[in-house]
Chain A
Amino acid sequence: MPKLTIDGKEIEVDAGMTVLQACEQAGAEVPRFCYHERLPLSGNCRMCLVEMERAPKPVASCCMPVGDGMVIHTNTEKVKKMREAVMEFLLINHPLDCPICDQGGECDLQDQAMAYGAGMSRFVESKRAVPDKDFSPLIRGVMTRCIHCTRCVRFANEICGTSELGGVFRGEHLEIGTYVDKAISSELSGNMIDLCPVGALTSAPYAYKARPWELSKTESVDVLDAVGCNIRVDARGDAVMRIVPRLNEDVNEEWLGDKSRFACDGLNRQRLDQPYVKKGGKLQPATWDEAFAAIKAKADGLDGSKIAALAGDTVDVEAMTALKDLLNALGSKNMDCRQESSTVDPNVRASYIFNTTIAGIEQADALLIVGSNPRIEAPVLNARIRKRYLMGGFKVGVVGPNTELTYKAEHYGDDPAMLRDIASGAHAFGKILQNAENPMIIVGAGALMRSDGAAILAACKTIADATGMIKDGWNGFNVLQTAASRVGGLDIGFAPTDGGLDTAGILDACGDGKVELLYLLAADGMEAAKLSDTFIVYQGHHGDSGAHLADVILPGAAYTEKNGTYVNTEGRVQQGHLAVFPPGEAKEDWAVIRALSGVLGKTLPYDTLAQVRARMAEINPVFATVNEIQPADWQDFGPSTVGGGDIQSKPLKSHIRNYYMTDPISRASETMAACTAEFSGEAERTGTDG
């Protein structure tokens, strides 16, 4: 390993590192604009110049590989002057509009000009101006501020895999842009806002809304898809102003999907902020006591088998635990968190989680995607697949929708019958999987929602067993969930047991009058016709389709308004935190259920969040370890445990049609509506059911 001296300090670093990285290890701060750990090198901002002994000129440390015996100085008078000079060049055409720039207060250029600049400009000529660019409903392009670091161009190229941005024209006329009049269409485009070291790319919905120093910042977890991206919720007063990603190497690195980032304006719209009770066929505002009394009037004397509950896609585990305990206390086993009727086996954890883990994708060398479009179902996870693809030696096959993925994939049609051939090795891709060191399969939620979902799950399990996906230290079988509450719900056992009804069964029973009281825990998208005369309690945070069916509405908290536990598709238990309080009379969800249990005379044995969490850990020990993955045992599942049936030859589809609107929050968001109008076809614009 090369040894070098940095500012008089000897340090030994890994070969192949750059001088800049070595300086960081040695604790020497080197300013930079274009360099970013996750992007290819470009070396064009020149801010990271350092002095190297025996070199005739200063070197750009971000692009200089370390060598044995190098002597580097980062704090000499010469380096200081070089930085001042580079800074002066960077600022020549940069406007002095910091007071009206949204980047102000969190701007690399501002900070580094303060720290390393000369404090004055000698430039008297006129500055160049560049017309503003209309990049998308999400990104504002004030290109006069651009310093041409090309981070956004490299991000679009490498991470997004949608090469839409470039540097066009040359010299003083160089502009970063799309050249043609088109929007940046990647689902990860919001990350360019974070990457931009100046105010050239800023968030369009957040424009002129707040200053960074006014915001209170709360670390939390995203629930708008099942990846469980780590986020920071920035709020001012009682409103969430923006959501930005936070670093988690195992989950989202430092990226965040556009829906998760920009749907936060939906948190302030169409909220349920007080209880409602249906009187005379119309929902009327009511007090909590009246709402609970109305439920009690219905539930009293009702046989447990006539009560059922469904949990929605963004519910926290605490609420599901409380509701499960309440239903059990009332004598009901009819509950399901698989609102979309997915056929995974609730008893075998390995059958419903992403066993390989997201970071584990980087070790795979062949991937079969079944009935999924990861690009819109889990954009951040898709970025990880692309990262693996760019390392080379990675074969991807798709049985399912033929969509534009961000990596090269062989499309084998959308007929699920093909899965048998792949399992038997008769199909070419079956051989590729067999020959691979670490093969993996991703089964989309869309494939498991079909009536033949069990047979497809079984076929995928057969592929996993037959092609060596299951071995010591490697489990290549993955279900890509799309709902943040799904794995948590299954882990806590919010699923039918001992003859209880599942989602389809509950909905049928509601139609037949066999279930008279249905508790929807933020579950939307039910067919109203089926629920004809059922008494429906809706507990949730948005006036979405579920609330319209309700006889009693109990206002709950959205994910930014409660301390909740969520389990992502990998089975990673993560905790979100309260950033703002729920609006009006809305309350934390588990507390609502706890209060209701008292009214119904079945008081649940917990009064604090800690007690609920202790109860969760009692039901399933995975909840005792937060942020870590407990690998799931590979057990038998499939027709033997979830019921058989044959694969039908309907085409496999992803169940998400419009990435930008999949849940009550994003459906209430104006920003997401603008994206839908910009990026989706006309037909999908009106879709309120995702």
Chain B
Amino acid sequence: MSTENTETFAFTAENQEAAKAILAKYPEGREASATMPLLTLAQRQNDNWLPRAAMDVVADMVGLPSIRVYEVATFYTMYNLEPVGKNYVQVCTNISCLIKGADDVFKVCKNKLGIENGETTEDGQFTLLEVECLGACVNAPMMQINDDYYEDLDPASTEKILDALARGETPKAGPQGDRVGCQPAGGLTTLLGEG
């Protein structure tokens, strides 16, 4: 948590327009409803974290006292209140992923990046976080890196993804095995033919 207001924040011209579009979705007098999308917009502009200055800017835009926006931003875990690495790695360790080997995936991440849960690498490239269910149980185990889901992981594919990211590449998102989407793991069993 960073409550010191050392940062400054202002929406870029492009995001100003986007913010206007968001505000326009809500009827007059209900601008407060735009708090969460505006915070998201601010976080995306600001390297995936929300400084206090950004919350103040949003509070002004929606006409709320700052504390009301702080309450929202501190309540939801998807708003980051501290700077995070360029690649924000969230590994699911809930029941389905756990059964399918999430512990190993998480261990690989820790060893590979040399950090513990909740920490950021010294070069600022990676932040690692253990999270609750992200709703992709059918492709367990999985992790989310920034906006992308990486699914059907095992230690080897996890390592590959992290290596690629470290090199600055963007590895292919989605299932890392050979199935498409969430089709059955061993190939299709129904709806095989045209008839």
Contacts and interface: CB of A to CB of B under 8 A. Distances in A.
Interface stretch (A175-183, A190-198, A485-493): A175-183
A168 B52 CA distance: 13
A163 B68 CA distance: 8
B52 A163 contact: no
Given A163-B67, A165-B67, A168-B70, A180 B3 contact: yes
Contacts of B67: 163-166, 178-179
A54 interface: no
Contacts of B3: 179-181
B71 A166 contact: yes
Interface string B58-99: 000000011110110011000000000000000000000000
A169 interface: yes
A629 B75 CA distance: 50
B74 A179 contact: yes
A525 to B, nearest CB: 38
Interface string A135-176: 000000000000000000000000000011111111000000
By CB atoms of chain A within 10 A, which of B65, B67, B70, B75 has the most? B67
Contacts of B75: 168-170
A181 B66 CA distance: 13
B74 A170 contact: yes
A284 B40 CA distance: 73
A168 B68 contact: no
A355 to B, nearest CB: 35
B70 to A, nearest CB: 4
B5 A180 contact: yes
Nearest to B64: A163
Nearest to B52: A180
Contacts of B71: 166-168, 179
B65 A179 contact: no
B58 to A, nearest CB: 14
A168 B65 CA distance: 14
Contacts of A163: 65, 67-68
Contacts of A178: 67
B139 to A, nearest CB: 28
Contacts of A179: 3, 67, 70-71, 74
Contacts of A165: 67
A180 B70 contact: yes
Contacts of B4: 181
A547 B5 CA distance: 48
A135 to B, nearest CB: 13
Nearest to A157: B65
B74 A168 contact: yes
A167 B74 CA distance: 9
B167 to A, nearest CB: 37
B176 to A, nearest CB: 33
A179 B50 CA distance: 14
A445 to B, nearest CB: 31
B77 to A, nearest CB: 8
A371 to B, nearest CB: 28
Interface string B1-22: 0011100000000000000000
A168 B71 CA distance: 5
Contacts of B52: 180
Contacts of A168: 70-71, 74-75
A364 B65 CA distance: 27
B143 to A, nearest CB: 23
Interface in B1-51: 3-5
A456 to B, nearest CB: 35
Contacts of B5: 180
Given A179-B3, A181-B3, A169 B74 contact: yes
B96 to A, nearest CB: 23
Contacts of A169: 74-75
Contacts of A164: 65, 67
B39 to A, nearest CB: 14
A51 B194 CA distance: 62
A180 B3 CA distance: 6
A272 to B, nearest CB: 45
A166 B75 CA distance: 11
Interface string A5-35: 0000000000000000000000000000000
Interface string B167-182: 0000000000000000
B7 to A, nearest CB: 13
Nearest to A181: B3
Nearest to A179: B70
Nearest to B74: A168
A186 to B, nearest CB: 13
B26 to A, nearest CB: 20
Nearest to B66: A180
Contacts of B74: 168-170, 179
The 7 tightest CB contacts between A and B, nearest first, are A163-B65, A166-B67, A179-B70, A168-B74, A166-B71, A170-B75, A169-B74
7 contacts: A163-B65, A164-B67, A168-B74, A170-B75, A179-B67, A179-B74, A180-B66
Given A169-B74, A169-B75, A181-B3, 15 more contacts: A163-B67, A163-B68, A164-B65, A166-B67, A166-B68, A166-B70, A166-B71, A168-B71, A178-B67, A179-B67, A179-B70, A179-B71, A180-B3, A180-B5, A181-B4
